[in-house]
Amino acid sequence: MELEKFAQKIFINKIRFSREFLVVGLIFSIIFFWFFVDSFKTYQSEIMIMVNAKSEIASKNERQIVSNILEFPKTLFFYDRLLKLNPDVRDVAVGLSSKQRKEKWNEMISVSLANPNSSVIKISISTSRQSDAEQLAKKTVRTLFDTSALYYDIRNDVDFRIVDGSISEKKSVNFAWLFVCSIVFGFGISRLLQFLIFDNKNFSFKKPDLFVSNSFFDPKKISGMFVKKELKSLDDLYENEQADESFHFQQKTKEDQDAEKFQEMKKLTKQMEPEKYPNFPEMPVRTEKKFSVPENLPIADETFFSDNITQEIIVEEENILLENEERAEPTPEELKKRLNELLKGKI
């Protein structure tokens, strides 16, 4: 039994390790890769100049002169002179020692011969922005002309000409090494988090309540809470309906009481004034007798009695309307008024 639990625990840990470790490691690897690409992104601007010997003495020492000019831009003196002649150039090595300043400058500049047997010098400047690389390359060439004038007679012995430039391009980055470094850093951090959160039992990391079985997100607890809420809402709804029904019942009872009082008042008035409110029993149904008439008697025209019958019907309807108006039942106000007059003895 214990062996099965141990094997099950190892299996669960492997699943958790493979899933969480890979996902977190992949996310951190992508983040580090884009960070490295952006950090190591550089632009290179290149200018080529040609050194010509004018005098006979300079032509004899042309190789030595070109070699000396190649070393000028690499010196710290040249960098300080560049900053002095161009106040708009920012000192990227400010606050560093002289050795560190020179190393920092040599990381940005590259000076070499375009061809080992030629006198063409290639100057390259690398920065993180393309515009900075172009401007700094032009100012470096101008500073090189000024610095060379301190050591050579540029009017009589040496002449400088710009052959090509400035040409800017994005410097290629070794994406393979960046990818490898990103994988190493990403999965290294993922393994560290895995160890601190899950593997290290002595690490005082309190898991949030979201991962606790009896937390708010427990399905059993959620169902129980929903059942309680539903029962409470049903009880409230039943109480409201009972309150509404009792209110309507009382209202109907009051109306019935008023109707009963009206009927009692009406009966009392009829008893005290029977002459004004006589009883009208139902009239018996009259049966007409049919007499036999000889068949040989002449039959009168139908229009003979039409006018007389119409007039009689109209007169009878008017009499019935008058009788109904006289015998119409009084309103509750009239009944109260007559009852008060009877009680006071006025009638």
Residues 241-284 pLDDT 10s: 665 554 444 444 556 666 677 677 667 666 666 665 555 444 45
Residue 240 and residue 224: Cα distance in Å, rounded? 25
User: Are residue 185 and residue 157 in the same domain, yes or no?
Assistant: no
* Cα–Cα distance for residue pair 30/33, rounded to 1 Å: 5
Q: Please state, rounded to an integer, the average pLDDT across all residues of the chain.
A: 72
The answer to whether residues 34 and 181 belong to one domain is yes
Q: What is the mean pLDDT of residues 230-241?
A: 69
Identify whether residues 47 and 165 lie together within a single domain. Answer: yes
Task: Let me know whether 151 and 78 are in one domain.
Answer: yes
Residue 284 lies in a domain: no
Q: Rounded to 5 degrees, what are φ and ψ at 328?
A: -65, 145
Same domain for 46 and 166, yes or no, is: yes
201 falls within a domain: yes
Predicted pLDDT at 213: 45
The two structure tokens encoding residue 15: 């699943």
Same domain (yes/no): 150, 103: yes
- Within a domain: 294: no
Domain with 69 in it: what CATH number?
3.30.70.1130
In a domain, 221, yes or no: no
Residues 31 and 95 in one domain: no
Q: Evaluate whether residue 272 is within a structural domain.
A: no
Let me know: does 154 contact 145? Beta carbons within 8 Å: yes
**Domain match, 161 and 95 both:** yes
pLDDT at residue 23 tops 80: yes
**Judgement on whether residues 148 and 75 belong to the same structural domain of the protein:** yes
Global pTM reads: 0.44
**84 and 166 assigned to the same domain:** yes
Q: Write the pLDDT tens digit of every residue in 116-175.
A: 888 889 999 988 888 888 888 899 999 999 988 888 888 888 888 888 878 888 876 677
Q: For the chain, what percent of residues have pLDDT higher than 90? A: 5
What total number of domains does the chain contain?
3
- Domain assignment present for residue 79? The answer is yes
Question: Residue 77 falls within a domain, yes or no?
Answer: yes
- SS3 annotation, the chain: CHHHHHHHHHHHHHHHHHHHHHHHHHHHHHHHHHHHHHHCCCEEEEEEEEEEECCHHHHHCHHHHHHHHHHHHHCHHHHHHHHHHCCCCCCCCCCCCHHHHHHHHHHHEEEEECCCCCCEEEEEEEECCHHHHHHHHHHHHHHHHHHHCCCCCCCCCEEEEEEEEEEEEECCCCHHHHHHHHHHHHHHHHHHHHHHHHHCCCCCCCCCHHHCCCCCCCHHHHHHHHHHHHHHHHHHHHHHHHHHHHHHHHHHHHHHHHHHHHHHHHHHHHHHCCCCCCCCCCCCCCCCCCCCCCCCCCCCCHHHCHHHHHHHHHHHHHHHHHHHHHCCCCCHHHHHHHHHHHHHCCC
Same domain as 152, residue 63? yes
Say if CB 111 and CB 128 are below 8 A apart: no
pLDDT band, very low/low/confident/very high, at 40 (cuts 50, 70, 90): confident
Per-residue CA distances from 270 to 195, 256, 264, 329 (Å): 104, 21, 10, 11
At 44-95, the pLDDT tens digits run 899 999 888 888 888 888 888 888 889 999 999 999 999 998 888 888 888 8
Domain with 344, as residue range(s), is 304-347
